Amino acid sequence: MLRLMPNIQRTVLSVVAFAIATLLSVQISAFELDGSKWPTGETEFYVDMDGIAASGITWNAAFIAALNEWNDATSFNFILRKDNKDPCANDGFSSVDFTNDFCGSEFGENTLAVAVVSFAASILGGPSIVEADIVVHKDEEFNVFDGNLAQVGIEGLDFRRIALHELGHTIGLKHEPEARAIMAPYISNLDRLQPDDIAGAEKLYDGSINCPFTEFAFGSRENALDSSDCTVSELLPGASDTSPIDLYRFSLTNPATLSLSMTSSTLDSVLLIADSNFQIIGFDDKSGGECNSSLTQFLQPGTYFLLANTFDVPLKTECGISGDYKLDAALNSVGINPLGTGTSVSNGSVNATFSGGITSNDGASFSNRFGPDASLDIVGRIDVDPADVGQEGFIVIAAVVDQQILFLNDAGQFVDAAANPGVIIRASNKTLAAVEEIIVVEDLVPAAQGISEILVSFYFGYGLVSSPNDLTYHTAPLNLIISP
């Protein structure tokens, strides 16, 4: 975990010189990243320049063509805004224009254009890009054409390939001195994006998750951080943070408050909640005392990641950067929420979704942690795979306590699976509807059953009579925690 500069900073990223480089024929994917990127993988870009090239193509058309080439070839998205903004103003608008000087200073010798990128601090990984502007030297001679730079009858330098290069800097790419690329430090005969340019952008913005993650079940979980884990620098390419990190994914379909704690006797704990773009929306690295941390966060519907992290160098002298930890998560929501992705015993394709919740107030709110005197209803919902709707099937409901598996039978009683090894006990047989509403238990009062403290993990799913040994179910359990 890194803590970065608190204020927005502007940095000159690019100076494109007149010199024509002789590009080496070397390996692809030598692109350079510094860990900085746009958080959502897109930005508005303001383009409205006066003038037309000797070839008859307007500067606007050439620049927009370069912008669209990045859009078409990569996962990054430039949103065109046909309006003029001052690229020298630190105003939050990304823009381009011709100027007589570099925002009040003289252009450097042989300088054609400059990209200026503004960064804001990020809790995790490199700083985020929040503005990126391009200043083009008005006094230089430009044109718009394809092919080699030096051509009989064509004067000036191709503005479009200069725009391609500068736009690469605005999305987070650095100069690439070794590979064949538009992002090479010098303008050349290359006039289109190269595989190395595209690979660099995709590394930043293809949406892939570079570390393994687990579907998170609200409740308690024990794990450890050590040198075998993924690191922040692996999760966020270009970042310099080598601290280990565990990822847990969860989704909400209703607004909810999530209360978290991460406890350890040896690990300098850091808790973070990130959105689907790994932008941190809540974190705690110091409360809870000793080596522990805690966090309470209100969340709107969406997909999130819970990140269990530590530091490159521990902040607390009594704590380290590896060791066991325990996560405790309490969720309070106005409705039921997803239970991870769907899966099946046969590992076939699954298009069913599952959600569930536990309520003690007739559905006014749902949680996973209750006192022993609460009267509980445990409910679920299966959105059945459309291919299975109308098929003769069955519903299965299971509860796991420690290592014991219990099935709910058609009489409404939980029975020990060990008494019938290899047998899947059915809660009901039925023709499958598009939506199956599940009632696991009603009006359960743990204290009346002699229970004052317990953790139960509930699962439910369905099968087809035509394939009785296959089950479709959810990966993250619905956890019930009873504690005094």
38-96 tens-digit pLDDT: 988 999 999 999 999 999 999 999 999 999 999 999 999 999 999 999 999 989 999 99
Query: If you search the block for the tokens 């941190």, which residue do you land on?
Result: 280
Q: Grade residue 207 by pLDDT with cuts at 50, 70 and 90.
A: confident
260-288 tens-digit pLDDT: 999 998 888 999 999 988 889 999 866 55
pLDDT, greater one: 421 or 373: 373
Q: What percent of the chain has pLDDT over 70?
A: 92
**35, 173 Cβ separation under 8 angstroms:** no
Q: What's the token pair of residue 225?
A: 């951080």
**285, 308 Cβ separation under 8 angstroms:** no
CA distance 174 to 116: 12
pLDDT surpassing 50 at residue 382? yes
Query: If you search the block for the tokens 């310099």, which residue do you land on?
Result: 240
Q: How far apart are the first and last CA of the chain?
A: 36
**pLDDT (average), residues 330-336:** 95
186 φ/ψ angles, rounded to the nearest 5 degrees: -125, 150
pLDDT surpassing 80 at residue 289? no
Q: What is the pLDDT of residue 288?
A: 55
Assigned CATH for 340-482: 2.60.40
Q: What's the token pair of residue 229?
A: 């884990």
Q: What's the token pair of residue 186?
A: 């010098």
List CB contacts of 77: < 8 A, sequence separation 6 or more: 41, 42, 43, 71
**pLDDT (average), residues 216-231:** 93
Q: What's the token pair of residue 50?
A: 């006066």
Q: What is the pLDDT of residue 11?
A: 54
HEC readout, the chain: CCCCCCCCEEEEEEEEECCCCCCCCCCCCCCCECCCECCCCEEEEEECCCCECCCCCEHHHHHHHHHHHHHHHCCCEEEEECCCCCCCCCCCCCEEEEECCECCECCCCCEEEEEEEEEECCCCCCCEEEEEEEEEECCCCEECCCCCCCCCCCCCEEHHHHHHHHHHHHCCECCCCCCCCCCCCECCCCCCCCHHHHHHHHHHHCCCCCCCEEECCCCEEEEEECCCCCEHHHHCCCCCCCCEEEEEEEEECCCEEEEEEEECCCECCEEEEEECCCCEEEEECCCCCCCCEEEEEEECCEEEEEEEECCCCCCCCCCECCEEEEEEEEEEECCCEECCCEEECCCCCCCCEEEEEEECCCCCCEECEECCCCCEEEEEEEECCHHHCCCEEEEEEEEEECCEEEEECCCCCEEEHHHCCCCCCCCEEEECCCEEEEEEEEEECHHHHCCCCEEEEEEEEEEECCEEEEEEEECCCEEEEECC
List CB contacts of 401: < 8 A, sequence separation 6 or more: 454, 455, 456, 457
**What pTM value is reported for the model?**
0.79
- Residue 129 CA from chain centroid, whole number: 16
Q: What is the pLDDT of residue 224?
A: 96
67-79 tens-digit pLDDT: 999 999 999 999 9
Quote the mean pLDDT of the chain: 89
Assigned CATH for 9-205: 3.40.390.10
Q: What is the pLDDT of residue 187?
A: 87
The dihedral sign for the CA sequence 211, 217, 218, 221: negative
Domain boundaries, the chain: 9-205, 213-333, 340-482
Q: Which residues pair with 43 in a beta bridge?
A: 78
Which pairing describes strands 157-158 and 142-143: parallel, antiparallel, or unpaired? parallel
Q: What's the token pair of residue 337?
A: 């929420």
CA distance 71 to 62: 14
Q: What percent of the chain has pLDDT over 90?
A: 69
CA distance 146 to 165: 15
Among 213, 215, 209, residue whose Cα is nearest residue 340: 215
Fold of 213-333: Jelly Rolls (2.60.120)
